[in-house]
Copies of this chain bind each other. A is one copy, B any other.
Amino acid sequence: MFDPVEKLKEHLRFPSVSTDSKFKEGMDGSRRFLEGLFTDMGLGVEVVNTPMHPIVLARREGNSEWPHVLVYGHYDVQPADPLGEWQSDPFDPVVKDGRLFARGAADNKGPQMAHIAAVAQVLEENPELPLRITFLIEGEEEIGSPSLKPFLESRKESFADVDLVLLSDTLSPTEEQIVVTVGLRGIAVLDVEVKGPNVDLHSGLHGGAVYNPVQALCEICASLHDGNNRVTVDGFYEGVTDVEDWEREELAKLEADEKAYKEMLGVDELHPLEGYTPFEATRYLPTLEFNGIGGGYQGEGSKTIVPAKAMTKISCRLVGNQDPKAIGDRVRQAILDRAPSGVSISVKMGHEGAPYLVTPPGRPNSPADMPDRLVHAFETTTKAIGETFGRPPLFLREGGSIPIIADFKSILGLDSVMIGLFLPEDKLHAPNESMNLDVLNRGIEASKRILLSIAQHG
């Protein structure tokens, strides 16, 4: 009998940190664990080498007439530091009060296990079921999935008959209220550097003669939003799609409380674009955020210089049909256009990812041409979650970015059914990450019902 919690604990013992080459052994161990697991389940396993970390593909052919589900997940995890803040070893999973504590428990080894265990148990109960499924578990999600897009492009034919992607790597607000995520923001990242004099200057001897690069950078950055927090770059909102009434109604059901949100963040006032609530702004609107700024002397005391240079890191979150390359270029151009003479500016484009948006069936704007199997998948997901969690899911957009979801759509033409199985208190990317085992068990049950229903839908 497949024991999901024991298997998950086994998986969590491998410190599979993808960003740090010191953890190569942990990455190898995690990959081999998955190979063994899928082999034991009777699936055909292929390990695809990439320039960095291999992709694990596990396939069950089943009946070629049946729907083909692609389950996505990632076996890499965030670094565990600061280690001192963990109450137990991040790579020695411990169960406490119904939660399993370990790095990767919620992101993504736990939620991914819901679908692995569902398939294992379905096949244990009915070994002859012609279930048609492919697991694609990558090792580079936490570093931006650089190898996955080229892999999908080079192996399109392997996925030609896939009907939909199923995954759990998104957030639900509470353990009673599961969210099916129907939109993700895209991203475009820019590094800006302003250069003034060739060295830091004495601000007494030269102050007043030259353009201070920190001043120039601040003037440029300050010009990028107006007083209502609207981004002032021409064309920045191009491709933003309307928010549908049903989306606002669905969001209202969250009963999110601005007062509690402010208290959680520790701010006196929220600052969404005029006309939007903060909960709308983070889901429906693009943003231009300064992730960091630096220049000159930042140490103790004072150093009275005109700095030689200053820098800022910007990331834009994008929505709807926005093209990250086009928007990134517009921001870059606006920054260059606004540079005063007396300083020189360079803007380097970083990584980018497209936004993703799917309208589930039964809404006024649902696409008429949505494939029947995908329509059925959304419907059966709604039903299964309602049965196992006691409440039907909410269909909401989320503010984060999983660029690979847009790639599945643009390269393979596939939409994704994203079932949120981690919660705010699971502390993703932070010390003492954990997975709620009750959510995991209900998730397994829901996934079994979904997979069986999809399979039998024919």
Please list the residues of chain A having a beta carbon within 8 angstroms of any beta carbon in chain B: 19-21, 78-79, 81, 85, 143-144, 171, 185, 187, 189, 191, 196-212, 214-215, 217-219, 221-225, 229, 261, 265-273, 278-279, 281-282, 285, 287, 289-307, 310-313, 315, 317, 340-344, 350-351, 398-401, 424, 427-431
Question: Which of B171, B185, B270, B296 is in CB contact (< 8 Å) with A210?
Answer: B270
| Chain B residues with CB under 8 A of A215 | 221-222, 224-225, 289-290
Contacts of A79 in B (CB 8 A): 297, 299, 303
Inter-chain CA distance A144–B206, complex, in Å, is 19
Cβ distance A248 to chain B, nearest Cβ, rounded Å: 16
Task: List 27 A–B pairs whose Cβ atoms lie within 8 Å, in order of A's numbering.
Answer: A19-B302, A144-B302, A197-B266, A198-B265, A199-B430, A203-B287, A203-B317, A205-B424, A205-B428, A206-B265, A206-B282, A207-B282, A208-B278, A208-B317, A209-B279, A210-B270, A214-B293, A215-B221, A219-B222, A270-B342, A291-B302, A292-B295, A294-B298, A302-B351, A303-B313, A304-B315, A304-B401
Among B81, B222, B299, B304, point to the contact of A429 (Cβ < 8 A): B304
Q: Which residues of B contact A281 (CB under 8 A)?
A: 208-209
Q: How far is the CB of A403 from chain B (nearest CB, A)?
A: 11
How far is A202 from B398 in the complex, measured between Cα atoms in Å? 12
The answer to whether B298 touches A313, judged by C-beta atoms less than 8 angstroms apart, is yes
Copies in the complex: 2
Alpha-carbon distance between A298 and B314 when the two chains are bound, in angstroms: 11
C-alpha spacing A309/B273, complex, angstroms: 21
Nearest B residue (CB) for A204:
B400
Cα separation A206 to B171 with both chains bound (whole Å): 11
Distance in angstroms between the alpha carbons of A148 and B246 in the assembled complex: 71
Give the secondary structure class of A's interface.
Answer: loop
How far does the alpha carbon of A296 sit from the alpha carbon of B315 in the complex, in Å? 12
Are A221 and B214 in contact (CB-based, < 8 A)? yes
Once the chains bind, are A429 and B305 in contact (CB under 8 Å)? yes
Known A295-B293, A429-B305; judge A211-B20 contact (CB<8 A).
no
Residues of B within 8 A of A223 (CB): 222
Let me know if B301 and A341 touch, CB within 8 A. Answer: no
The 8 closest A-B pairs by CB, nearest first: A198-B266, A204-B400, A292-B296, A222-B222, A209-B278, A19-B301, A214-B290, A218-B221
**In contact, B296 and A428 (Cβ under 8 angstroms):** no
Q: Smallest CB–CB gap between A212 and chain B, Å?
A: 6
Closest chain B residue to A290, Cβ basis: B214
Q: Are B287 and A399 in contact, with the CB atoms below 8 A?
A: no
Residue of B nearest to A295 (CB): B293
* Contact B207 A399, beta carbon cutoff 8 Å: yes
Partner of A171 from B205, B268, B285, B351 at Cβ < 8 Å = B205
Q: Which residue of B lies closest to A296 (CB)?
A: B292
A311 touching B298 in the complex, CB below 8 Å, given contacts A214-B221, A265-B197: yes
Closest-by-CB residue of B relative to A18 is B301
Q: Which of B197, B285, B291, B297 contacts A305 (CB 8 A)?
A: B291
**Complex Cα spacing A350 to B261, Å:** 36
How distant is the Cα of A57 from the Cα of B79 in the complex, in angstroms?
55
Closest to A312 in B: B214
Q: Give complex CA distance A36, B225 in Å.
A: 60
Structural contact, B19 and A303, CB atoms closer than 8 A: yes
Given contacts A143-B301, A208-B285, A430-B200, contact A217 B214 (CB under 8 A): no
B203-A315 in contact (CB<8A): yes
Closest chain B CB from A302 CB (angstroms): 5
